[in-house]
Structure 1
Amino acid sequence: MNNHIIVSNVSDASFALGVGYAHSQKIDISDIIALKTFINNEFCPRFLQDHVTEETLGHGLKGKSVYIVSTHSAHHSRDELAMRNYLIASAAKENGAEFVALVEPDLFYSAQDRGPRTLDHPQVTDFSSREKFVGQPCSAEMYAQLLKTSGVDSVMTVHNHKPDVMRKIYEKVNPEGNSRRIPSFLNLDIAPLIANYILRSGLVRLWNYGEHVGFVAPDDGAAEFVNRVRELSGLHNSVIVTFSKTRHGQRDVTVDLSEDVELLKGRDIFILDDMVRTGGTIAANISAIAESSRCRPANIFFYSTHATISPEARENLNSPYLNQFITSNTIPSVLNRDDQGRLRKKIVVLKIEKWIANAIRHCLEEAQLPDEIYGINSVTQSDDFYEVDLSTKNPLHNKSRVQQYELTI
């Protein structure tokens, strides 16, 4: 058995299997770990070991590193999956594993990153900003504490909504670090892959360094990511516009168009964000842009890293103004054609298992920092890190893949 082992918290999880394959793991995950549930519904993982002796008993993973790949499941709640993560990590350490990392592209509980006593948070500004969390836990910190108690040394995720906040939480919970000197929290920046896709997709007019391209941040929280994608794309003659939103309720959002919205007129525009659940914010952005006489872009494309294709999201993203919706498979159910429904005609999924395997190798095995690997110099090679999945119903399915551009970076 290799010294670096990839396992999952669900049997035959497609994402974990893809990561293992891309990592050149020759042994099937099901031949490394058995995931059984007793008749009373208690979960019990078991790392499989042949030829147990007195010397090897309890030391079957001695000196090895275990990487638990965890993603959203249609059959198990996130609470159930989290408990499975704890038990698998504990089993690994109790059987001699030197290092355990949780690889969770869409990090559980990270949106619940403050409680009523939280003070060190960018959104905690006054009493009212704390009052709304009265009676609630800071679930992100609780999750970090339980992972550490279970034996997890490091957590690796993708495009976290508030990476600086998460980093503080995980460093607070695990101040002593680990023997590998690997940070307790690693956030992978997906911007180089998105810049690469925009350049190679043929969706937008790229000539003269993107003079017909516009980038839109749907709110202030997305602005940093949007700026980075634009910078990495090398489309320096493109424009960037940031909107502000007002939330009147959980599903009631209005968008305030900025004065520079006129810059988007006649352009091919990309709206970029980290997540979509109901699609309400994005639907408001798309309608505001398309229906404004000051704007009227030529084409509208929307990208979101983490996509939950809920019934509301299907309805909202089915806007006649939206040309294509691009996302990754950090939430693997997005690949299900039945879940996609009507969106099959306009959804493109970037499968990132190869990139995750690459990050495991460089960041968790070789202790390199993500920012040192995935930056401006990685954009031109990033098409090796993902595969494009789309339905035959999508008009892009029959489009020529001939690259019709020159990279300008």
Structure 2
Amino acid sequence: MNVKLFAGNANRPLAAAIAQALGVPLGEALVERFPDGEVRLRLGESVRGADVYVIQPTSPPVNDHLMELLLFADALRRSSASRINAVIPYFGYARQDKQNHGREPVSAKLVADLIERAGYHRVIAVDLHAPQIQGFFNIPVDHLSAVRLMAEYLKREGLHEDAVVVSPDAGRAETARKLANLLGLDMAMLAKRRTGPTETEVTYVIGEVRGKRPLLLDDIVSTGGTIRRAVEALVEAGARPEAVVMATHSVLVGDARRNLAHPAIARVVFTDTIHLEDRSGCTVLSIAPLLANAIRRVHTHQSVSALM
């Protein structure tokens, strides 16, 4: 394959796994910091006329990793790369996709503009927090989902028996419905109201959960507070206290570990879109094969939607 892969510092293990799946070595690049914190980047090989993919989730520290992503595009453009593609397993700022109050920025749109203006020709992302973010770009966006990966894991472990798929809110209902269809299960949903910028309160459970194992599916787990309150509401509604919590992106800040250690949570499952140094107490599924297949299909001008 006439493909070159590069990676910033956000998730080198995932980039290496993608490169191995494709049989392509990671490109040489220097990505470090000047003494004042500015990002220094220099490509270590020629990319003239190449189809290049930069693998870089904008995970914490979000601004540092976003800047690396932007500088890669500028360096590649100035080095005469043919096509420059951003592989962004986790898209930071996605939760700021609209104005919840007056005088706020729509940060997701600004970040999309920055990525496009930097010189990227295409974006490959996984489980965007808001699907409409695809429309913020004027370049192609391949929006992949980890839902099949989750379904295969649940079947393999037998966790889908006597279970119900639960969406934590209306925004994730469509993804939860896809998982429920793949597993042949019923679906429930939680009604919530926001009590602060990062806090929500579960008001009631929609659907029948009594006597069933709840399979709670979300895209991001940040502090874990919403997940803990969701599990408590489900148990109060009669669900079995052995919930399986699944999320694509393990941001895990603040009290996340303590919240996920709730006694009614039997298992926690993430993908490796964000690198986790400490994987204790959770199962991590690799998204590398899915991303490698997407890169292969984009490069050979095949349909990416077949993967979804």
TM-score, normalised by the number of residues in structure 2 = 0.91
1:123-175 CA distances to partner (integer Å, 9 max, x unpaired)? Answer: xxxxxx5xx140x3322222222222221111111011111x2121102xx4x
| Pair 196,42 (structure 1): closer, same or farther in 2 beyond 3 Å | same
Residue 160 in 1 paired to residue 128 in 2? yes
> How much is the aligned-residue C-alpha RMSD, in angstroms?
2.2
1:221 corresponds to which of 156, 165, 171:
171
Q: Is the CA contact 1:239–1:264 (under 8 Å) kept in the aligned structure 2? A: no
1:243-290 CA distances to partner (integer Å, 9 max, x unpaired)? Answer: 101122245432122363xx3222222111111111121111111111
- Pairs aligned (count): 308
- Provide the C-alpha distance between the structure 2 equivalents of 1:229 and 1:12, rounded to a whole number of angstroms: 27
Residue 299 in 1 paired to residue 267 in 2? no
Query: How many Å apart are 1:72 and its aligned residue?
Result: 4.9
Query: How many Å apart are 1:354 and its aligned residue?
Result: 2.0
1:161-208 CA distances to partner (integer Å, 9 max, x unpaired)? Answer: 111x2121102xx4xxxxxxxx2x111022111111111122342xxx
Q: What SS does the aligned partner of 1:257 have? A: strand
Q: Which runs of 5+ in 2 are unaligned?
A: none
Residue 3 in 1 paired to residue 2 in 2? yes
- Provide the C-alpha distance between the structure 1 equivalents of 2:177 and 2:68, rounded to a whole number of angstroms: 37
TM-score, normalised by the number of residues in structure 1 = 0.70
Q: Is the CA contact 1:158–1:190 (under 8 Å) kept in the aligned structure 2? A: yes
- Provide the C-alpha distance between the structure 1 equivalents of 2:11 and 2:87, rounded to a whole number of angstroms: 16
Report percent identity of matched pairs. 26
| Pair 147,259 (structure 1): closer, same or farther in 2 beyond 3 Å | closer
Q: 2:44 is matched with which residue?
A: 48
Q: Is the CA contact 2:244–2:265 (under 8 Å) kept in the aligned structure 1? A: yes
1:287-316 CA distances to partner (integer Å, 9 max, x unpaired)? Answer: 111133xx2326311111111222311121
Q: 2:299 is matched with which residue?
A: 365
Q: Is the CA contact 1:267–1:298 (under 8 Å) kept in the aligned structure 2? A: no
Q: What SS does the aligned partner of 1:249 have? A: coil
Q: Is the CA contact 1:65–1:98 (under 8 Å) kept in the aligned structure 2? A: yes
Residue 61 in 1 paired to residue 69 in 2? no
- Provide the C-alpha distance between the structure 1 equivalents of 2:198 and 2:107, rounded to a whole number of angstroms: 23
Q: Which letter does structure 2 place at the counterpart of 1:358? A: N
Q: 2:23 is matched with which residue?
A: 24
Q: What SS does the aligned partner of 2:6 have? A: strand
- Provide the C-alpha distance between the structure 1 equivalents of 2:225 and 2:153, rounded to a whole number of angstroms: 25
Query: How many Å apart are 1:371 and its aligned residue?
Result: 2.3
Q: Which letter does structure 2 place at the counterpart of 1:138? A: V
Is the strand fraction higher in 1 or 2?
A: 2
Q: What SS does the aligned partner of 2:137 have? A: helix
Q: 2:204 is matched with which residue?
A: 257
2:118 corresponds to which of 150, 161, 185:
150
- Provide the C-alpha distance between the structure 1 equivalents of 2:286 and 2:150, rounded to a whole number of angstroms: 12
| Pair 47,323 (structure 1): closer, same or farther in 2 beyond 3 Å | same
- Provide the C-alpha distance between the structure 2 equivalents of 1:167 and 1:224, rounded to a whole number of angstroms: 16
- Provide the C-alpha distance between the structure 1 equivalents of 2:154 and 2:32, rounded to a whole number of angstroms: 43
- Provide the C-alpha distance between the structure 1 equivalents of 2:125 and 2:206, rounded to a whole number of angstroms: 36
